[in-house]
Chain A
Amino acid sequence: MSAESHSRHYIKIWAILVVLLVISVIGPMFGHKWLTLITAFGIACVKAYLVAKHFMHLDIEKAMIRWVLITSVVLMGLFYAGTAPDVMEHTGLHWTNDAAIYASENPVHEPGDHHAAGAGEGEAGHAAGEHGGDAHGGGDAHGAPAGAEVASTAEAGSEQGGETEEAAAPAPDGEVAEAAPATAGAAPGFDAAAAFQSSCSTCHGEAGDGNGPVGAALNPKPANFTDPAFWEARDDAMVHKAIKEGGAAVGKSPMMAPWGSTYDDAQIDAIVAYLHHFNTAGGATTEAAGETP
């Protein structure tokens, strides 16, 4: 075979590939499902075969190489077969993937439209209160169907003492609690109330009274922000340090987790300012809380 016929052969293959490309682009234009399937994917397989055979000379390569490549492709098929029943299907034996169902019914197509905030559950019938948005460290809260926010419960299992330490819990934040005034200034655009809902309310309670669901199981009890004595006993710097470096840093329970890696200083200041609004004794403003800790 002379040099020219070699290159002419390759150019011929290339021409076929281009034709196939054109068909695979035009085919789906007609919008028939099976036509799209055949033209787009069928032709893709043919093109891949042509490139592998003529360009990569797989046909004259030793058989062992073909077997290696076929094995890796078969393994991917095996992975697909083992995983699809759980990921592709949205329901199965005794389980429903509410998140996927919810995402299918309220899809996000355009950059503008967001999940309908605060919408009720998917049809799985949770009677729970507003569902939590995923926290992503505060900030953008996509609506999320996942499970149920634990509404402040009448029976907070109060008598269930147990000698557990206090735990801080970043539960997914509910929608913004109406009552709390948005705190201005400290960190522009940062919603301290939402941060409190997502990160603090599980232990400190949505009313800041220290008996959130997880708080109930803790000993010592989480801090109660509605109790004026709490604010007299310490200044904002100590509260800031407790939030930033965790309870152990200020001699309190190590179960109060350090939030320094999730919220920056300005955001923590905004949270501290927000906590003051729980104080029932006429809201000792941040300035007045200058007593020694």
Chain B
Amino acid sequence: MKPIATTRSASSIPTGRLAIWWVLASEVVIFGGLLGSYIMHRLGHPEWGETAAHTNTWIGAFNTLVLLTSSLMAVLAHDAAEQGDGKKAARFIGMTMLGGITFACVKSFEWYTEISHGFTITLNGFWSFYYTAAGLHALHVIAGTIIMGFIAFDANRGRELQRVELIGIYWHFVDIVWIFLFPLLYIAK
């Protein structure tokens, strides 16, 4: 039973979307703090470029492609949901989830190879930031994928279709964070 409060929209923005934008504002500040600290250290220690060379740019690029494609799927899902087609929206969200899972698998494979070569989190400053930043981002990707599971389940039954747009916005944000993480961690050599 939803309270009357949730149905009201005094600011003419639907409650769900307004909430997700505030969630994103707090996420920007968290990732901003972490990446800010990383950039400070990175500019202070140009020699990190040498150890950063051991990151595999191709895997990073592929992961970026995976996230961009899953972002496309998310926006198509939102488009379908707007037309009220719950089943089609659920299918597109399924594809987005597939992108998320692929990203996580590629990331774990990448880490496995790097750690086995001895580039652990405690090796030096760069690798500490590398695993912390990429790890926090991967956590957000996994959380997003799990939530999408629930939303796809509901959308398939034509319920709560507006949530498809909300998880889409969250997913695009996670994609934008990766768009900045990719050059910072992989390309700045």
Contact = CB atoms under 8 A, between A and B. Distances in A.
Instruction: Judge: A and B partners, yes or no.
Output: yes
B33 A88 contact: no
A40 B18 CA distance: 32
Interface string B95-125: 0000000000000000000000111100111
A156 interface: no
B13 to A, nearest CB: 6
Interface residues of B, number: 59
B179 A51 contact: yes
B79 A48 contact: no
Nearest to A22: B61
A40 B44 contact: no
Contacts of A28: 187, 189
Contacts of B134: none
A40 B124 contact: no
A158 to B, nearest CB: 41
A108 B187 contact: no
A230 interface: no
B175 A109 contact: no
The listed residue with most B CB atoms (<10 A of its CB), out of A24, A54, A72, A73, is A72
Contacts of A83: 36-37, 40
B168 interface: yes
Contacts of B18: 65
Contacts of B75: 10, 54-55
B91 interface: no
Interface string B18-44: 100110111011001100110111011
A72 B175 CA distance: 18
B32 A108 contact: no
Nearest to B13: A62
Contacts of A44: 179-180, 182-183
A21 B187 contact: no
Given A69-B25, A76-B29, A88-B40, A55 B83 contact: no
Interface stretch (A11-19, A147-155, A179-187, A272-280): A11-19
Contacts of A291: none
Contacts of B21: 61, 65, 68-69
Contacts of A14: 68-69, 71-72
B162 interface: no
Contacts of B164: none
Contacts of B168: 55-56
B172 A55 contact: yes
A48 B40 CA distance: 22
B176 A104 contact: no
A84 B11 CA distance: 39
A69 B24 contact: yes
A262 to B, nearest CB: 18
Among A24, A25, A54, A69, max chain B CB count under 10 A is at A25
Most chain A CB within a 10 A radius of its CB, from B32, B45, B183? B183
B51 A87 contact: no
B61 A56 contact: no
Contacts of B172: 51-52, 55-56
B74 interface: yes
Contacts of B51: 107-110
Contact of B37 (A11, A18, A87): A87
Contacts of A87: 37, 40-41, 44
A21 B64 contact: yes
A18 B70 CA distance: 12
8 closest residue pairs by CB, A with B = A111-B118, A76-B32, A40-B183, A14-B72, A40-B187, A72-B28, A107-B47, A108-B124
21 contacts: A14-B68, A14-B71, A25-B61, A41-B183, A51-B71, A51-B175, A52-B172, A55-B72, A69-B24, A69-B25, A69-B28, A72-B29, A79-B32, A80-B36, A88-B40, A89-B44, A103-B124, A107-B124, A109-B51, A110-B118, A111-B117
Given A79-B36, A103-B124, 20 more contacts: A6-B79, A7-B79, A10-B75, A13-B72, A40-B183, A44-B180, A54-B75, A68-B21, A80-B39, A87-B37, A88-B40, A104-B45, A104-B46, A104-B47, A107-B48, A108-B51, A109-B50, A109-B51, A110-B118, A111-B123
